[in-house]
Chain A
Amino acid sequence: MNVDYILTNGHILSMAENQDNAEIVVLNRGSIEAIGGQELLDKYEGKIIDLNGKTVLPGFYDSHMHLVSTFLSEVAISFENASCIQDILDMISEYRRTFPDRKIIYGRRLSEFQLKERRMPTKQELDKVAANVPVIISSIEFHTVVLNSYALHIFGIPFTIPYFEKDADNRFTGRIRNRGSFIARRKMFELLSDEMHIAGRDQVVKRLLKKGVTTVTAVEGGSLFHEKHVPLLMDQMKQIPIDVNLFYSTVETNQVMQYKLPRIGGDIFLDGSFRSHNAAVFESYEDLKGHKGTLFFNHSELKEFIQYAHELGLQIGVHAVGGRGIELLLDVYEAVLKERPKEDHRHRIEHFELPNDNQIKRAADLGLVLAMHPTYELFFRGDGDMYDTRLGKQRSLRTNPFRKIMDSGIVVAGSSDSDIMPSDPILGVHAAVNHPNKASQITVYEALKMYTVNGAYASFEEKEKGTLERGKKADLIVLNQDIMTVLPEKIREVEVAMTFKNGQLLYTRVKGDSQ
């Protein structure tokens, strides 16, 4: 039989429950035609790719990321490597020289923790390098923004809102916090043209394929982003060669039904983030005594939404980070499911960063799916870094307890939260396996499941994707090393050598390709 591709001499890690030792995968017409041993060579003819013993895995899922925002990050300045305010100003100057026609400058991924000054820049500083173009810089998790004077002028945000910061001389610093930053970001999204929004699309898709991602769950809309991102992304679907499952972060079921989406939410904020001190925790923040974060819903309001969406048969995803937020969400899910039980609802909790043992058990009993971000443990964990500062050393040991969660039987879908974190499942596997708290570490195989089988399950796609089995979609990747045997601390060095999507070879690593 003639087929498209025969991948031979591989180490096939199918991720299926009853996987046999296979070394050949046959791809035809977008699907996996066969998987097995040498005997397949007698049955099929087609383009042969000799893998030379390399590992083959199902294509990765990134189960919670912000795709339009990630597109935008391509035209933004990333400040992740800035170490002081002057670095930021230099990068803006350089950007202006490179892109003199850009009508707005958007800077992102700035953490004051990484800066020598341990503070965000002021508008007075930004004005020195960009007086005649609006500049907006977002903190890493978007809860604080800094505007230059021109942006402050054209955004026209009323000064009567309580989120503007002023200095000792009663001058606006350009920093706007919490809800004010949402308003500023909305203004920015409204100023940015559709073309600008999607200018980075092809670059992002290329990078996702390079990282082995063949399916993403794009969490769009909502207060941190903009509802116009949803139709914008819907319009782009045909130009994006990977699968995009859209999660619309709204409580308006009507909007979701309009696009015939089977799910709702993703980043409906039940609480905030540790960085912004508004993730709802049981005990005070280490660096802000007496403050326990904020719940953005009360029980009845949340129940009204969840019950309604549940009755409409939608899969629901809600953002809950701190223990108090998680508790409220579990209470509501429990109440709704008790009144209207439903098998296989797969409702989700997004983030689930600081659960306690009882909450893990309750989530398991309710059959919830978790979308979690292992790379937080890499980027937020260091001495004096965010977890440490906000939660204190002892409590921060309890963040992202993957071991306990896996042992409870909960399905955890691995996610990047891009563009907050890079979309890089292998880095996610590395982070989960090398969790700084040894008691929370999981095996490589378990971590790989998070980005394959579990990702498919979290999107109701396990029948067509997530494992390498006959008849399933030919979404698969080839790694340059055996990820199962490489030293744990070297996992992040494993690279994707090839990515197939729907049986098409869309990425091949060439020598010298940097990760």
Chain B
Amino acid sequence: MIMRGDFLGGFKITLNGKEISNLISEKGNGILCYLMLHAGQRVQRKYLSGLMWDQYTQKSASGNLRYALWQIRKVLRSHCPEIEYLTTPTKSTLEIPLIYVQTDVNEYNQWTQKWKLSKDETTQRMLCLKSASGLYKGHFLEGFYIYDVPLFSDWLFNNRENLQRMYLENQMRLAEELGEMNDYKRALKELEKLSKLDDLNEEVHWHMIHCHLKSGNRAAAVNLYRELKRRLRQELGISPSADLQELYQSMLKMDHHQTSKEEDRPDLATTQHITWEQPQRSMLFYQSKTTTGIQMMNQALHQLTYTPDTLVLNICASPGKRIQYEGIYEIVDGLKKHYVETTSEAPLCHYEELDDLTFMSGLDQYQIFNRLTSLLSNLDREVVCIKVWNIHFMDERSIDFLSFLYRRYNGQRVVICGIYDENWHNQRYLHFKKAFLNETNAMFKEY
């Protein structure tokens, strides 16, 4: 019978499918974990006793180790009397034979070794990388801690560090391989796992942005950059690295024809898909060119509140002109965050829709507008309020979407409001305003 240790993302030792770690003391578990990860190797008793009882005399530490081993053996024998898991090859050493042990850590190491050896075989490499990725359910011995064993803690921290570094390297490689197969969606999924481990890792973000760009989704790439930039400033007080800034600048300069799919998108103005429906909902835009007016507009926008069951999506909040679709992507991103933060039980199809919308590249403009509108209408909130903090910076497609949303929405559940700083010029917004100026439920207020 195999003794199994699951040490990635928690601590669990099972024998014949039954958990035994709950029957063993903390230090006993620490010892067993150490021996399992060194299965097939002789471990000095003296080393083990020092690892666990370094502040004790040698005699006392040895006594404690003997007792802990007795307890472990007792549990193991009670579950499987016919196998001697814990052997004593010599008087001063202990060993668990390799054939009796499986651990996720060792398996993870093995898959890692294998992919490194299978340099020229893509299929094999992918299999190894995916298998390894599936095993890493969290950090080494996450949640497992013994208070007064500093040397064991050092061992634990070093192992945790090694595994984290290995995971970082493996996931990056996996994403790279998936990218080479043009499977950017899955590449991004793998990178997102890394981002959860270290959410301010700029290298990981650099690759994520690249994936978005390669899949033709410049708006998502720019949005991701802006969010990283915001968090780096807020949490670490720094700017993104020079590499990332350079990448961002190049994204801005990129003509949208350079991104693969955008050029295929029809111009909404020429399509006849939109049907006019009598609006029954609100639209409120403030505009001013004076500092005082702008200040008042900002405060007014903050004060706009609706029912407690309103989902507010803040978009275009920081300065800087937006690229096409960026505002739409911010709405998609806001919806995703809403589901994550509220852990709402959204129907699976909503997540799929959001995923598809994250990868807008396969969709034409009308599909994007339609599917996002539909998602908003099926939201678990009474009202959705989209606050556009700087509509003067907003891209044309996103302004078109607001127009579409306003006209298309059937219920009274969407409020669109925003600020226009007249010191800037946004022709699309001016058209938008003209189109809605005489709507009963729309208001354009000057400060």
Contact B298 A312 (CB under 8 A): yes
Q: Which B149-200 residues have C-beta < 8 A from chain A?
A: 150, 153-154, 156-158, 160-161, 164-165, 168, 197-198, 200
> Do A160 and B236 have beta carbons less than 8 Å apart?
no
A252 at the B interface (CB under 8 A): yes
Contact present for A258 and B147 (CB under 8 Å)? no
Which residues on the B side are within 8 Å of A311 (C-beta)?
Answer: 291, 294, 421, 423
- The reply to whether the CB of A296 lies closer than 8 angstroms to some CB of chain B is yes
Segment from A91-99, A178-186, A413-421, A499-507 that makes contact with B:
A178-186
Interface residues of B in 230-259 (CB under 8 A from A): 230, 233-239, 245
A223 within 8 A of B: yes
B154, B200, B237: the one contacting A171 at CB < 8 Å is B154
Cα A182 to Cα B389 with chains together (Å): 30
**A side interface size, CB within 8 A:** 49
For A160, give its contact among B156, B164, B235, B320 (CB under 8 Å): B164
Considering the chains assembled together, what is the distance between the CA atoms of A160 and B168 in angstroms?
8
B347 within 8 A of A: no
Q: Is the Cβ of A170 less than 8 Å from the Cβ of B145?
A: no
- B262-270, B311-319, B426-434: which one contacts chain A? B311-319
Bound complex: CA of A149 vs CA of B158, how far in Å? 12
Residue in A150, A307, A308 whose CB lies within 8 Å of B145: A150
CB distance from B392 to the nearest CB of A (A): 11
Interface residue? A442 (CB, 8 A): no
Cα-based distance from A253 to B297 in the complex (angstroms): 13
- Please indicate which of the listed interface residues A127, A153, A183, A342 has the most CB atoms of chain B within 10 Å of its own CB: A153
Say yes or no: A296 contacts B164, CB within 8 Å.
Answer: no
B139 close to A (CB within 8 Å): yes
The verdict on A252 contacting B161 (CB below 8 Å), with A161-B198, A186-B235 known, is: no
Tell me the dominant secondary structure on chain B's binding face. Answer: helix
Residue-wise, chain A 134-177 has the 8 Å CB interface mask toward B (1 for contact) of 00000000000000011011101011110000000011100000
Cβ-neighbour of A304 out of B154, B236, B320 (below 8 A):
B320
Q: Are B314 and A254 in contact (CB under 8 A)?
A: yes
- Interface flags for A315-345 (1: CB within 8 Å of B; 0: not) read 0000000000000000000000000001000
Given A258-B302, A260-B299, decide whether A183 and B147 contact each other with a Cβ distance below 8 A: no
Q: Which residues from chain A contact B157 at a C-beta distance below 8 Å?
A: 149, 152-153, 159, 171-172
Does B295 count as interface, using CB distance less than 8 angstroms? yes
Could you tell me if A257 and B302 are in contact, using CB atoms closer than 8 angstroms? yes
Given the known A-B contacts A131-B150, A252-B234, A254-B314, are A160 and B165 also in contact in the complex, defined by CB atoms under 8 Å? yes
Q: Which residues of A contact B (CB under 8 A)?
A: 123-124, 127, 131-132, 149-150, 152-154, 156, 158-161, 170-172, 179, 182-183, 186, 222-224, 227, 250-254, 257-258, 260, 268-269, 296-298, 301, 304-305, 307-308, 311-314, 342
Interface residues of B (CB under 8 A from A): 139, 142, 145, 147-148, 150, 153-154, 156-158, 160-161, 164-165, 168, 197-198, 200-201, 230, 233-239, 245, 291-292, 294-295, 298-299, 302, 314, 317-320, 389, 421, 423
